[in-house]
Amino acid sequence: MKYEKNKKRNLLTKKDMDLDEKILKYLNDGITYTAKNLDDLLDYFRKIDTFEDNHKKLCELISHIKILNIDRVEYDRKACIQENVDKIIDIVENIKSYISSRASEDEKLRIQNIEKELDKEYLYAKDIELLKKMISFENKEIDEEYDCCEKVNTVSINIKDNISSTYIPVETGSIEYHYHLDNNIPRIKRLIKNLHKYIVILLKRIMISQYTG
């Protein structure tokens, strides 16, 4: 289901759908959005708005940082074929759905409560990877060093004054972009909420220990 600029003005109005100003802005931005139906399109717009707002909040949170060091334990440094992370996530989600379909309602509720508690207190490795992707995008001031004794890889990144929100490597308006928003919004929210628990200030440089699940 595609909506192009010349069709949008007659499609929805604030009076008809009680849309806010920001969502109406997307209807007239000249971008073709692909969606399953009207509800999916509105969800798309709201998630773009949520993503942009949270991106700004995270940028404000790290605006005082000049150099970010990310430490990550890497025991196996042998060359190997790079796995497709998105494909692995899809497989995990399919397994999760399969198990969930056979779990009792009480078991599902317990799992949901555990996930909520984890989101409140912790960051995942994929959250740190998103932060790394954010500040590394179009940034040439990056150094990497591996400590063979400690098995720790350290990435040192000079943070730019203006961090772009265009680091998602797919076209805005596509189904893939909607998919990335679904995945990245919870990650950015966890970073905003919990990043301070993982940083250590060393000589005005910030270090993040990426010993997360």
17-43: b or e for each residue (b if 16 or more CB lie within 10 Å)?
eebeeebbebbeeebebbbeeeeebbb
The whole model's pTM is what? 0.70
Residue predicted with more confidence, 92 or 7: 92
pLDDT tens track for 37-93: 989 998 998 899 899 999 999 999 888 888 888 887 776 655 455 556 567 777 877
Which pLDDT value is given to residue 186? 93
pLDDT tens track for 93-126: 788 777 777 878 888 788 788 888 877 788 888 8
Which pLDDT value is given to residue 176? 93
Answer whether residue 163 shows pLDDT above 50: yes
pLDDT bracket for residue 7 (50, 70, 90) = very low
Look up the domain containing 128 and give its range: 2-209
pLDDT tens track for 13-41: 444 455 567 777 887 888 899 999 989 99
- How many domains does the chain divide into? 1
Contact 4, 32 (CB under 8 A): yes
CA nearest to 187, candidates 97, 124, 135? 124
Mean pLDDT of all residues in 167-185: 91
Which pLDDT value is given to residue 180? 92
Q: What is the DSSP string of 150-190?
A: TTEEEEEEEPPSS--S--SSS-TTSHHHHHHHHHHHHHHHH
Mean pLDDT of all residues in 141-159: 86
The pLDDT mean for the chain works out to 78
Any idea how long the chain is?
Answer: 213
Which pLDDT value is given to residue 5? 43
